[in-house]
Structure 1
Amino acid sequence: MSPARELLTVPNLLSLLRLAGVPVFLWLLLGPREDEWALALLVFGGFTDWLDGKLARLLNQTSRVGQILDPAADRLYIMTALLAFLLRDIVPTSIVLTLFAREVAVGVALLVLRRAGFAPPEVTYVGKAATFTLMYALPLLLITKGDSAFAEAARPFAFAFTVWGAVLYLWSAALYVWQVASAVVGRRGG
Structure 2
Amino acid sequence: MQSKLVPVQEYDTDKVLTIPNVVSFVRLLSVPVFSALIILGHDVAAVVLLAAFGATDWVDGFLARRLKQRTELGARLDPIADRLYILATVVALLVRGIVPIWFVVVLLARDVMLALLLPILRKHDMVALPVNWIGKTGTFLILLSLPLILLGAPSSLDWPWAHWLGWILGVVGAVAYWVAGLLYVREAVRLVRGETS
TM-score, normalized by the shorter chain, greater than 0.5: yes
- For 2:72, the equivalent position in structure 1 comes to 64
- For 2:16, the equivalent position in structure 1 comes to 7
1:49, CA displacement in angstroms? 0.5
Count matched residues.
183
TM-score by length of 2: 0.86
Deviation digits for residues 136-185 of structure 1 (CA, Å, limit 9, x no counterpart): 1111111112345xx12212110111001100110111111111221122
Deviation digits for residues 44-89 of structure 1 (CA, Å, limit 9, x no counterpart): 1111101111222222221100111111100000000011111112
1:121, CA displacement in angstroms? 2.9
- Structure with more helix by fraction: 1
Query: Do the aligned partners of 1:143 and 1:154 also contact (CA within 8 Å) in 2?
Result: yes
Residues 1-190 of structure 1 correspond to what in structure 2 (within 5 A)? Answer: 3=14, 6-30=15-39, 32-145=40-153, 146-148=156-158, 151-186=159-194
Identity value in percent: 39
User: Where in structure 1 are there 5+ consecutive unaligned residues?
Assistant: none
Query: Do the aligned partners of 2:20 and 2:60 also contact (CA within 8 Å) in 1?
Result: yes
1:119, CA displacement in angstroms? 3.1
Moved over 4 A (4+): none
TM-score by length of 1: 0.89
User: Where in structure 2 are there 5+ consecutive unaligned residues?
Assistant: 1-11
Tell me how large the CA RMSD over aligned residues is: 1.8
One-letter amino acid of the counterpart of residue 11, structure 1: P
Query: Do the aligned partners of 1:43 and 1:139 also contact (CA within 8 Å) in 2?
Result: no
One-letter amino acid of the counterpart of residue 176, structure 2: L
Greater RCO, 1 or 2 (C-alpha within 8 Å, sep 6+)? 2
SS in 1 for 2:117: helix
Distance in 2 of aligned mates of 1:111 and 1:14: 30
Deviation digits for residues 83-111 of structure 1 (CA, Å, limit 9, x no counterpart): 11111121121111011100100000122
One-letter amino acid of the counterpart of residue 16, structure 2: L
